[in-house]
Amino acid sequence: MEVPIEIVTGVVAGILSALLIFAAKELWSNSIAPWYSSLKYQGADISGSWYAKINETSKNDKESDNASADESDSEGSDNESFNAGVSTFSMILEQQAHSVTGSLQFTFDGEVKKFNIDYDLSGEYWEGYLSLYCKSKDKKSFSQASMFMKLVGNGKGLFGTFSFRNAVSDQVHSVWIGLDRN
């Protein structure tokens, strides 16, 4: 039984048309639309390198500084050991209009524990505020966090919170940070 040439030609033409449409969609989504968006974008440019270093005091120093803290913050604090130390944030951002990607290297050098986590960043910058999702690059020690920050100082700094899951207490913790442009 012979297959008519019209059927073969129709099938091949259909497959080639589908591939052409897929390629055109990818070209539009990944090249033309982002290029046009960044061309028309009129907002601040937050691309570049950002840095922060935070010294955390011991638990006793924190308690004396926060004598008026409510009791809900101290629940379970007898069972948790506070790890005083130095947190370092080194972030590189790439911006294309409102879309922001990049990487963050977080280092903690504490009395009890020392570690380093590299994050992939994705998020958006809209009307002076930056919202980022942080996902660890190392799949063996999964970590995730989020950052919500405001551009301050005429574009020289970012100020806001870094919220993460504390692996020791298995609770969400937030730290106020101020990042400076390098």
* pLDDT tens profile 10-21: 999 999 999 999
Q: Which tens digits make up the pLDDT trace of 42-96?
A: 788 999 999 999 988 755 444 434 333 333 343 334 434 456 889 999 999 999 8
What tokens does 103 get?
Answer: 């990487």
pTM of the entire structure?
Answer: 0.69
CA dist 54 and 148 (Å) reads: 17
- Judged against a pLDDT cut of 90, whether residue 143 lies above it is answered with no
pLDDT above 70 for 106? yes
Q: How far apart, in Å, do the first and last CA atoms of the chain sit? A: 73
Q: What is the pLDDT of residue 82?
A: 55
Strand partners, 99: 96, 124
